Amino acid sequence: QLIKGEVTLKNVTFGYVPGKTVLKNINVKAKPGQKIAFVGSTGAGKTTITNLINRFYEIEEGEILIDGINIKNIKKDSLRRNIAMVLQDTHLFSGTVRENIRYGRPDATDEEVITAAKIACAHSFIERLPQGYDTVLEGDGANLSQGERQLLNIARAAISKAPILILDEATSSVDTRTEKHIERGMDQLMKNRTTFVIAHRLSTVRNADQIIVLEHGEIIEQGTHDELIKMGGRYYQLYTG
Ligand code: CTP
Ligand code: MG
């Protein structure tokens, strides 16, 4: 393990364009191995928080620390190696299925690729492709379904040794049956990693160590499922529909 995977956001305020604040004074402390869930309505700022942890954008106010080090002082390639992600929109490149899965772990063996694909419930559809693991994907996986692309991204995260994991609606395009199937794989994926999970289905965030409820870019509630239910506030409303 390269790092422990402690992630801290301190007074983070951010906007994509000047004059429009998207996140206001966000404070989060994720201990190594914890599962942190972000919930809240569309546009609340969930993806934006993970964009900042990934350093896709620079923050003006506040700071983000990994193992106590400001991410501004961590080299981008080191950050990439330490954070695995399955995002709302999938990322694949033209190359074989195998290359796409072991992206970031070029040293991975064929066995490791298959194990990762099995964790992601991707093995059976890959085997049905014309050349199996050697099938060449067109740009961004255009010859696959949206759900299949997500499964490949999950397999890529599974093969990665990154201690930090970001799951942003990671199974949103997968059918209910496959999603049920993949639950154990997702648990395996999160094991021993600091995980930030965003999911509309609140059943998948129930067991998180901390659930953070966002509204218009601000944290309005924070706690475990039981604590937030007892509180009877926004999370309770969301949960009980
Ligand atoms: N936003 C923006 N520029 C971007 C991306 C997002 O101005 N490049 C704005 C959006 O319009 C939104 C806010 O930032 O008002 C938060 O967006 P996001 O973090 O993506 O919201 P989510 O909570 O992730 O919403 P969803 O559940 O729809 O994914
Ligand atoms: Mg989002």
When divided into structural domains, the chain yields a total of: 1
Tell me the two tokens of residue 1.
């393990």
CA torsion angle 156 211 77 159 (round to 10): -20
CATH number (domain holding residue 232): 3.40.50.300
Q: Which ligand has the shortest distance to the CA of 40?
A: 1
Question: pLDDT tens across 148-194, in order?
Answer: 999 999 999 999 999 999 999 999 999 999 989 999 999 999 999 99
List all residues 6 or more positions away from 73 whose beta carbon is below 8 Å from its beta carbon. Answer: none
54 domain residue, yes or no: yes
**The predicted structure's pLDDT at residue 141:** 80
List all residues 6 or more positions away from 142 whose beta carbon is below 8 Å from its beta carbon. Answer: none
Answer yes or no: is pLDDT of 1 > 70. Answer: no
Answer yes or no: is the C-beta of 48 below 6 A from any ligand 1 atom. Answer: yes
Q: What's the mean pLDDT in 47-65? A: 96
- Closest ligand 1 atom to the C-alpha of 20? 7
Question: pLDDT tens across 90-105, in order?
Answer: 889 989 999 999 998 9
169 domain residue, yes or no: yes
Residue 2 binned pLDDT confidence (cut-offs 50, 70, 90): low
Domain that holds residue 236: 7-92+162-240
71-80 long-range Cβ contacts below 8 angstroms, 24+ apart: 78/2, 79/54, 79/55, 80/104
The residue behind tokens 């099938």 is 135
Question: pLDDT tens across 103-126, in order?
Answer: 989 999 999 999 999 999 999 999
SS (H, E, C) 150-171: HHHHHHHHHHCCCCEEEEECCC
Nearest one of 34, 103, 26, 93 to 62, comparing CA atoms: 26
115 domain residue, yes or no: no
How close is the Cα of 177 to the center of ligand 1, in Å? Answer: 29
Cα–Cα dist 177/49, whole Å: 30
227 domain residue, yes or no: yes
Q: What's the mean pLDDT in 39-68? A: 96
How close is the Cα of 49 to the center of ligand 2, in Å? Answer: 9
How close is the Cα of 41 to the center of ligand 2, in Å? Answer: 9
Question: pLDDT tens across 128-146, in order?
Answer: 999 999 999 987 788 899 9
135 domain residue, yes or no: no
The residues with which 30 forms a beta bridge, in sequence order, are 7
C-beta separation of 194 from 32 below 8 A: yes
**The predicted structure's pLDDT at residue 169:** 94
23 domain residue, yes or no: yes
142 domain residue, yes or no: no
Answer yes or no: is pLDDT of 20 > 60. Answer: yes
Please, what is the average pLDDT of the chain?
94
62 domain residue, yes or no: yes
**The predicted structure's pLDDT at residue 23:** 98
Answer yes or no: is the C-beta of 22 below 6 A from any ligand 1 atom. Answer: yes
Answer yes or no: is the C-beta of 178 below 6 A from any ligand 1 atom. Answer: no
